[in-house]
Amino acid sequence: MRRQQAAPVIAALGVALAAAAQEAPRMERVSIEDGSGAARWGPAEATVEQSAEFAGPDGKSLCLHIDVDHTAGEPNYPVGWPRMALKPPPEMQDWSRFDFLELVIHTETSREALPATPLGFIAHTPDKANAYNRTLTELRKGETTTLTIPLSQIPRHNLVPHLQFYISESNYRHGDVLDFYIDDLALTRYAAPTVSDFAPLQSIAFADAATLGARFRLLGVEEGKTAVVQAVLRQGGATVADAEWELLRGEHEAWLSLTTPLKPGGADLELSLGESRQTARVRFVASPYGD
Amino acid sequence: MLVMLLIALSSAANAAYLFDMGKAESAVRPGFQPVLLDAAYSEAIGFGWQSAEGLEAQAQAYKEPVENTSRGTMDPPPIYTNELTEDSVQGPFQATFLAKVPAGRYDVHVLCGVSAGNRSQFWDFTVSVGDAAAHVQIEGAQRFVWETLEATAGDEPLAIRLDPLSRWCLNAVLIVGEGERGAIGASSIEPLRQEIFALPPEEWAKWTEDVHVDSRPWPPIAPADQRRGYVIHHRAYLEPIRPNTVPLAHTLNPELRAFASLGEYEPLTFTVWPLKDLTGARVSVSDLKSGNATIPAAAIDVRRVAYVLCRTNYSAFGVYRRNPDYLPRFESLDLPARENQRFWLTVHVPEDARPGLYRGKVSFTAEGVPSADVPILFRVLPIRLQEDPSKLYGIYYYDPLDRAASAPDDVSRAYFERKSELEHADMVAHGTRNVTMSVWSPAADKDGKFAFNYELLGKKIDLFEQHGFRPPIVMGFNVGEIYRKHTGESFGSHLRGVKAPPPEFAAEVTAAVAEIERERKARGWPEFLYYPIDEPSTDAASVEFMVTVLQACRAVPGIRTYVTADPTHEAFEPMRPFIDLWCTQPFAPDRETVLADSAARGVEYWCYPNHISGENDHTPVAGARMTYGFGFWRSGFRTLVPWIYQSSNGDPFNYLDGRYMDFFCRHEPDGTPIPVAMWEAFREGYDDYRYIYTLQQLIEQTRQAGKAAQADTAQQELDYVWSAIRVQPKYKYDDLWGYEEFDAYRWVIAQQIMELQGDR
């Protein structure tokens, strides 16, 4: 049960979190695949078996094994796409009440290193024409990689009836051997109200702008309930604008009215929810439209 | 006799007379009277041709999938015909169709087009009934026009007259009494139009709409806006506005603001949300004034943004979105309630405009409601933007001169020649300085001679040079014909079915390249980049074949080869020594690798960013601007050359017909280009890069003048913008700058230009 843990990769961050020390937020987790479901996956030009290698505490992982062969496979496409696919059970197809998709994958290969595009992940949302397709470029030979993908990056994730891992043999040499150990494929969510993926809609704006927008996700709020997010814009230590937004769970864009003239230069936009605060820097430049 | 019975029993107000023109063997629409070539008018019959002189008939039905032997697939037909559109009557001379109907007022609907035929035919004719007339212009085949003329019938038969400038074509005539308008319209005409201009019911049933959801709450609507019946709002033009996009409170009743340099084009947009149906809507724009300086209203192009049913991607089926797409001109519009209508203005700053802050307005009016004036604030900068000679903006191009060369008449030839001129001028205005070309010949004859059409190529190169385009020219040539001669087969799309050819094949490829190259030099033409195969696959057989072909090309001394393939694919490694120019879809490999390889081996890296031309749902406008400007700057690539300026199959305004969705710019019936929003974004990216290059040049000049501190400050600002770019191989939707940020970064650069010029 070996695991060499690489640093978790959180895909697509918003602005860096505030410097103030904070406890890691409590998360809830539901596994789609915990490493014990090899029989549920349908491989093609590959094999999938249960393994005890590179597994977490439960000692189970799925091994997707591929012998790259540029001569075999489908007659029309000998250089093809070895893959494995899963139809999740109905209760695991609606991801709308979750915040992240997490994948924990360890990679071994006969090559010296993986190519730039080692493994792809597809989720039909809800069909092939509208699939979410993500190349897992973060994978490294000999390392276990934890990928946390915000579900905000996966449109239409309320109906996900098909999942697939695949490689493009064109990215590999004939004869390469690959083993992808999938320890966990899970959905996670914040257990308490949390602001995530905060970023100003503009990192640079004209000093005579009438509004400044912020984009963020409000997570960890029960269905039908709201939480209050406060926003303050400060320049030179002085508050130049503030706002309070009472919001439901989900993705939001919200605006502060800028009625006090701003000077060219930096300003700090702070979002707070309860005791937690996040800050982003915005640069204001002199407007082209002054007389 | 059936028609006579109808006449006897019906009054004009309650009658419809339906005629299906075509061939005897073609299907006839139920309820329609067939009209063949020999249907001469007589009082007894009550309908028919006044004269059969010059009349011809054409028929080609498309109902079933067609085999694509190149790809080995079964594809949808180019269009789906019905009984009316599968055939037509046509002719080169004036003709009249007569129909005896009771006295009264009628709508005369005429359907014109051909389902198959010469693609180089331009149908240019007038159809008239009494004083009502319509000018019909149709390019080629598989496109149809529906015109409706109001007519009053008396004692004489109604005369539907067809007057050609080139040729006319007619599928059907529907004469509908004014009392029948509603019933026939709902039961027959609307379903018929749906079949012809969208899809037949059984095909339509296979598609579902992916409805855009905007769940933001509506802002409060001011009483004044309620009273006038509409709301005006604004978003940055990079942000698509869909029919149901909810206005934001802070964007209501906007002031439109933009800045631009001398000679630059700059967009301004605003959107009307009607609270009720509006008819006769018009938009007009005032002069822009700054003191006693004026930018005339004539320098401001006014268009609307049209919605089209778009696929989710160019080759996808089954799901469509109603997306903003092309920008047609208009006189007046009827706007349905609760559906956004965006208007797109483009200011072309005169080269000799006086810098300063200009003010003006754009006025919106509609019948029976108060008008609205939207103020414009426009800053003209004292800057002349420079182009970087080391970068090239090109585009794949189907030149209408190919159609002109095979045009069957002078009117058709003139249409395609004019279209080519207009498109070249449009490309110049959008920063394009290069187009791809091809030269074709059958395989060499028994004497080893080719038959390349150098005269036609020469015309294209003349136009290229007249419009100030810059070399080299990507030159495709038909290796496929040579392969077929020596193997008896086609190698298929992406070399799907290629096999190793005999040695004579390579020798003939070399001979073809040698001849083209001799001709090029003799005629003093610019450098050609030899482009033998498009997008080879990574199969071993394909790669081996490419090595053979590239070696055969390079056997001609001094030429360079061009290949559309991803250089990061290891499978292409054997080709690498023989490729002088990689053209790849993403900006990959990264900048450092590209610049190092270019320096070490003299290889060039070009990019065909199809993800922001036609391989999308027509909405990645911000991605298009980023690709063309700041992204291009950071990439290290030399050239952008997306596929393609314009490509259509079937109906050019129906994006659901045929194998692929239509690509990019459209055109008016007379060939005048119609831009799409992404084409405008290409220009904005081109302008962004010109701002960058202009500042780089000024920094260098300032430093050489000994003003290091000023140069350093400007460089720091340029570095700030450089660092703000979130580098990606493909800029499309995700992880881009905010819509309003692009202009703010451009302004940072513009400020430094003016500072170094001493204009601040």
User: How many other CB atoms are found less than 10 A from the CB of residue A243?
Assistant: 17
Could you give the dihedral angle defined by the CA atoms of residues B378, B380, B386 and B391, in that order, rounded to the nearest 10 degrees? Answer: 0
Q: Is position A116 within any domain?
A: yes
pLDDT given for residue A7 in this prediction: 39
Name the band, by pLDDT with cuts 50, 70 and 90, for residue A268: very high
Judging contacts by C-beta atoms under 8 Å, the chain A residues touching residue B716 are: none
Q: What is the mean pLDDT of chain B?
A: 95
**What span, in angstroms and rounded, lies between the C-alpha atoms of A285 and A200?**
16
Name the band, by pLDDT with cuts 50, 70 and 90, for residue B8: very low
Among the listed residues B289, B109, B129, B135, the one whose alpha carbon sits nearest the alpha carbon of residue B192: B109
Q: Is position A3 within any domain?
A: no
Lookup: tokens for B591: 């900048």
User: How many other CB atoms are found less than 10 A from the CB of residue B274?
Assistant: 20
Same domain for A103 and A139, yes or no, is yes
Same domain for B592 and B482, yes or no, is yes
Does residue B428 sit in helix, strand or coil?
helix
**What span, in angstroms and rounded, lies between the C-alpha atoms of B502 and B500?**
7
Judging contacts by C-beta atoms under 8 Å, the chain B residues touching residue A116 are: 568
Per DSSP (E only), the strands in B143-229 are: 143-153, 158-164, 168-170, 172-177, 208-209
Lookup: tokens for A251: 């993705």
Same domain for A59 and A97, yes or no, is yes
Task: Tell which of B661, B690, B719 closes a domain.
Answer: B690
Same domain for A179 and A251, yes or no, is no
Task: Tell which of A190, A221, A236 closes a domain.
Answer: A190
Same domain for B402 and B268, yes or no, is no
Neighbouring residues of B304: CB distance < 8 A, sequence distance ≥ 6? B283, B327, B328, B330, B333, B341, B342, B343, B344
Does residue B671 sit in helix, strand or coil?
coil
Is residue B51 within 8 A of residue B81, CB to CB? The reply is: no
Among the listed residues A3, A16, A15, the one whose alpha carbon sits nearest the alpha carbon of residue A58: A3
Q: Is position A168 within any domain?
A: yes
Q: Is position A247 within any domain?
A: yes
Give the residue from chain A lying closest to B290, CA to CA: A291
A contact residues 1-40, partner B, Cβ 8 Å cutoff: 12
Interval B35-73: pLDDT, tens = 999 999 999 999 999 999 999 999 999 999 988 888 888
Interval B617-634: pLDDT, tens = 999 999 999 999 999 999
Dihedral over Cα of B419, B638, A136, A22: its sign: negative
Laid out side by side, the sheet with B87-91 consists of: B56-59, B87-91, B168-170
**Number of domains chain B is built from:** 3
Same domain for B521 and B444, yes or no, is yes
Same domain for B301 and B329, yes or no, is yes
The CA-CA-CA angle for residues B139, B143, B146, to 5°, reads 110
Same domain for B80 and B8, yes or no, is yes
Instruction: Tell me what percent of the residues of chain A surpass a pLDDT of 70.
Output: 92
Does residue B433 sit in helix, strand or coil?
coil
pLDDT given for residue A275 in this prediction: 79
The residue-averaged pLDDT of A56-72 equals: 92
Burial class of A113 by CB neighbour count within 10 A (0 to 12, 13 to 18, 19+): exposed
Is residue B152 within 8 A of residue B105, CB to CB? The reply is: yes
pLDDT given for residue A3 in this prediction: 39
Range(s) of the domain holding residue A224: 194-285
Same domain for A237 and A165, yes or no, is no
CB nearest to B250's CB, from A129, A153, A210: A210
Same domain for A255 and A203, yes or no, is yes
Instruction: Produce one character per residue of A151-163: b if its CB has 16 or more CB atoms within 10 Å, e if not.
Output: bbbbebbeebebb
Task: Tell which of B206, B240, B273 closes a domain.
Answer: B206
Same domain for B269 and B180, yes or no, is no
CB nearest to B539's CB, from A78, A201, A204: A78
**What span, in angstroms and rounded, lies between the C-alpha atoms of A224 and A140?**
42
Same domain for B246 and B375, yes or no, is yes
Taking the alpha carbons at both ends of chain A, their separation in whole angstroms is 70
Percent helix, strand, coil in chain B (nearest 5)?
Answer: 30, 30, 40
Same domain for B28 and B157, yes or no, is yes
Residue B97 belongs to domain with CATH number: 2.60.120.430
Interval A114-171: pLDDT, tens = 998 999 999 999 888 779 999 999 999 999 999 999 898 898 899 999 999 999 998 8
The residue-averaged pLDDT of B464-476 equals: 98
Q: Is position B439 within any domain?
A: yes
Q: Is position B678 within any domain?
A: yes
The two most distant CA atoms of chain B are separated, in Å, by 97
Same domain for B150 and B273, yes or no, is no
Q: Is position A4 within any domain?
A: no
Question: Residue B471: pLDDT above 70?
Answer: yes
Interval B116-153: pLDDT, tens = 999 999 999 999 999 999 999 999 999 999 999 999 99
Write down the residue that tokens 């095979």 correspond to.
Answer: B406
Same domain for B550 and B647, yes or no, is yes
CB nearest to A285's CB, from B568, B740, B744: B744
Range(s) of the domain holding residue B559: 392-690
Among the listed residues B501, B586, B513, the one whose alpha carbon sits nearest the alpha carbon of residue B548: B501
Q: Is position B214 within any domain?
A: no
Name the band, by pLDDT with cuts 50, 70 and 90, for residue A276: confident
Same domain for A41 and A110, yes or no, is yes
Q: Is position A270 within any domain?
A: yes
Interface test with B, best of A204, A212, A255, A283 (most B CBs within 10 A): A204
Q: Minimal Cα–Cα distance from A213 to chain B, Å?
A: 10
Q: Phi and psi dihedrals of B533, rounded to 5?
A: -140, 140
Q: Is position A1 within any domain?
A: no
CA distances from residue A101 to A30, A31, A144 in whole angstroms, order as listed: 10, 10, 16
Among the listed residues B741, B627, B740, the one whose alpha carbon sits nearest the alpha carbon of residue B678: B627
Residue B514 belongs to domain with CATH number: 3.20.20
Return the amino acid letter for B286. S
Same domain for A270 and A165, yes or no, is no
Neighbouring residues of B41: CB distance < 8 A, sequence distance ≥ 6? B47, B48, B49, B50, B98, B157
What is the ipTM metric for this complex? 0.91
Dihedral over Cα of A140, A143, A144, A146: its sign: negative
Interval B484-527: pLDDT, tens = 999 999 999 999 889 999 999 999 999 999 999 999 999 999 99
Angle between helices B540-554 and B503-523 (to 10 degrees): 40
The answer to whether the Cβ–Cβ distance between A170 and B569 falls below 8 Å is yes
Is residue B344 within 8 A of residue B304, CB to CB? The reply is: yes
Interval B203-254: pLDDT, tens = 999 999 999 999 888 999 999 999 999 999 999 999 999 999 999 999 999 9
Same domain for B133 and B254, yes or no, is no
Interval A25-45: pLDDT, tens = 789 999 999 999 999 999 999
Q: Is B331 left (phi over 0), alpha (psi -120 to 50) or beta?
A: alpha
Q: Is A99 left (phi over 0), alpha (psi -120 to 50) or beta?
A: alpha
The CA-CA-CA angle for residues A287, A289, A291, to 5°, reads 110
User: How many other CB atoms are found less than 10 A from the CB of residue B422?
Assistant: 17
Same domain for A222 and A141, yes or no, is no
pLDDT given for residue A72 in this prediction: 82
HSE-up of residue B341 (Cα within 13 Å, Cβ side):
25
Task: Tell which of A155, A190, A225 closes a domain.
Answer: A190
User: How many other CB atoms are found less than 10 A from the CB of residue B431?
Assistant: 19
Q: Is position A186 within any domain?
A: yes
The CA-CA-CA angle for residues B167, B664, B471, to 5°, reads 95
Give the residue from chain A lying closest to B319, CA to CA: A129
Distance of CA B649 to the CA centre of its chain: 12
Is residue B18 within 8 A of residue B29, CB to CB? The reply is: yes
**What span, in angstroms and rounded, lies between the C-alpha atoms of B264 and A46?**
56
Interface test with B, best of A170, A208, A256 (most B CBs within 10 A): A170
Among the listed residues B350, B335, B363, B315, the one whose alpha carbon sits nearest the alpha carbon of residue B275: B335
Same domain for A138 and A245, yes or no, is no
Same domain for A174 and A32, yes or no, is yes
Name the band, by pLDDT with cuts 50, 70 and 90, for residue B11: low
Q: Is position B145 within any domain?
A: yes
Q: Minimal Cα–Cα distance from B435 to chain A, Å?
A: 31
Q: Minimal Cα–Cα distance from A116 to chain B, Å?
A: 8
Q: Is position B741 within any domain?
A: no
Task: Tell which of A190, A211, A243 closes a domain.
Answer: A190
Same domain for A243 and A119, yes or no, is no
pLDDT given for residue B13 in this prediction: 60
Neighbouring residues of B451: CB distance < 8 A, sequence distance ≥ 6? B441, B442, B445
Judging contacts by C-beta atoms under 8 Å, the chain B residues touching residue A10 are: none
Q: Is position B92 within any domain?
A: yes
A275 and chain B in contact, CB less than 8 A: no
Name the band, by pLDDT with cuts 50, 70 and 90, for residue A23: low
Q: Is A12 left (phi over 0), alpha (psi -120 to 50) or beta?
A: left
Is residue B81 within 8 A of residue B88, CB to CB? The reply is: no
**What span, in angstroms and rounded, lies between the C-alpha atoms of B221 and B651?**
40
Interface test with B, best of A112, A251, A289 (most B CBs within 10 A): A289
Same domain for B151 and B243, yes or no, is no
DSSP class of B12: G
Q: Minimal Cα–Cα distance from A174 to chain B, Å?
A: 9
Residue B299 belongs to domain with CATH number: 2.60.40.10
Residue A105 belongs to domain with CATH number: 2.60.120.260
**What span, in angstroms and rounded, lies between the C-alpha atoms of A181 and A49?**
10
**Number of domains chain A is built from:** 2
pLDDT given for residue B14 in this prediction: 63
The residue-averaged pLDDT of B269-276 equals: 98
Question: Residue A73: pLDDT above 80?
Answer: no
Return the amino acid letter for B542. S
Residue A237 belongs to domain with CATH number: 2.60.40.2550
The residue-averaged pLDDT of B149-174 equals: 97
B→A interface, C-beta within 8 Å: 72, 210, 248, 250, 257, 259, 312-313, 316-319, 357, 377, 379, 496, 537-540, 568-571, 724, 734-735, 737-738, 740-741, 744-745, 747-748, 750-751
H or E element: which one contains B451? Answer: none
Q: What is the reported pTM?
A: 0.89
Is residue B66 within 8 A of residue B75, CB to CB? The reply is: yes
Is residue B721 within 8 A of residue A204, CB to CB? The reply is: no
Among the listed residues B27, B31, B29, B48, the one whose alpha carbon sits nearest the alpha carbon of residue B39: B48
Distance of CA A164 to the CA centre of its chain: 17
